Amino acid sequence: MTAMTGKRTTPTDRGLRRDTSRLQTEVAAAMDGDSWAILPTATDHVKHRLYDGASLRHCCLLLAEIEQAAKQHLEMAVRILGRAHIEAWLFGLYLHFGGYPALERIAQDTHASTITTYEEFRSFDAQLRSDKRKAEKRLVAVRKTNDGRARWNTDNPDKSPKPMLDEPYVPRLRESGIDLASRIGDFAGLKPATLPVSVVVDALTKLAPKEGFGRESFRPVYQIYRLVSAVGPHPTLHLYDWYLCPGGFVRIAPEPGGPSMINPTRISALYSTAFLAEWVLSSSGCETPIATEVRQRYEANPDGSAGWAPGS
């Protein structure tokens, strides 16, 4: 996969929309074809292919939704989707080039996350049951006390009435009723272990020169991921600061100021999806002329001469 030669122009809104549509069409045509009709034989190779294809489809869906959000000028939606796309792309590359061992690591992470979520539900439900029992017991005692005081007040109208006790609040929340035990059972025999994005990035840096899909460190992609997290899905002070309009009086803007991240996000997502599509589709013998063309068009140069897209 060689870089495209010749002069390249800055991407336009129309060009981004066109290339996104063309790439989506090529991926859909390939994955709807016979090359991706997979018999579920449960072998390691088949499992890897299934999830390899699913990871590409996921990136394509996020790309399509980024484009829809961009069309409506939804700045925060684009940032949040863009952050999700970076993570999906990194895991997609890791899965594709890491083979079945990478799939096992992602399965371990899924297993660990499922256990944590299940334990959260169970812990909450148990605590809720306990809180309700205690509150109901206190309520019975308070009502009994209040009934006695009410009778005493009635029988002794010439004396100062005894005050009524406030009834304790009994939680009205319902238990979640969510049972993930069967899903946890799907990973029987697999040791749960988390897989942070930073670990995936380091693995890609090592895999890239060996597998031929890169020669530079993937650490800058992780740094971009962290930056986008700080000004997108996470309510940080960095994000809040962009709502503040200084002046004689500070005003709070209806949306964050500063440069828009919509087009850089669109370009990054389009480029990286095309990059992944080339490798995933070609591994099943599918031609990828559009993915190759799109990837080459938006690929950044390490020297910074085409710095509108992320290099990797």
Contacts of 65 (CB under 8 A, 6+ apart): 81
pLDDT 10s digits, 173-184: 999 988 888 888
- What pLDDT, in 10s, does the model give residues 245-261? 988 999 999 998 888 99
- Which residues, including other chains, have CB under 8 Å from residue 227's CB and lie 6 or more apart? none
Greater confidence (20 vs 184) lies with 20
Evaluate if pTM is beyond 0.85: yes
Element counts in the chain: helices (H) and strands (E): 9, 2
Amino acid at 281: L
Two tokens, residue 200: 């995936």
- Encoded amino acid at 228, one letter: V
- Using an 8 Å Cβ cutoff, are 219 and 112 in contact? no
- Inform me whether the pLDDT recorded for 87 exceeds 70: yes
The answer to whether 222 touches 201, Cβ cutoff 8 Å, is: yes
Q: Residue 270: which of 107, 27, 6, 2 has the closest Cα?
A: 27
Residue 177: per-residue pLDDT: 86
Residue 22, pLDDT above cutoff 90: yes
pLDDT (tens digit per residue) in 260-296: 999 999 999 999 999 999 999 999 999 999 999 999 9
> Which residues partner with 244 through β-bridges?
252
Confidence band for 305, pLDDT divided at 50, 70 and 90: low
**Tokens of residue 75, six digits:** 């700045």
Please report, as a single letter, which amino acid is at residue 234: H
Q: 3 pLDDT exceeds 50?
A: no
211 Cβ contact list (under 8 Å, min separation 6): 97
* pLDDT tens-digit readout, 198-244: 999 999 999 999 999 998 899 999 999 999 999 899 999 999 999 99
pLDDT value at residue 113: 95
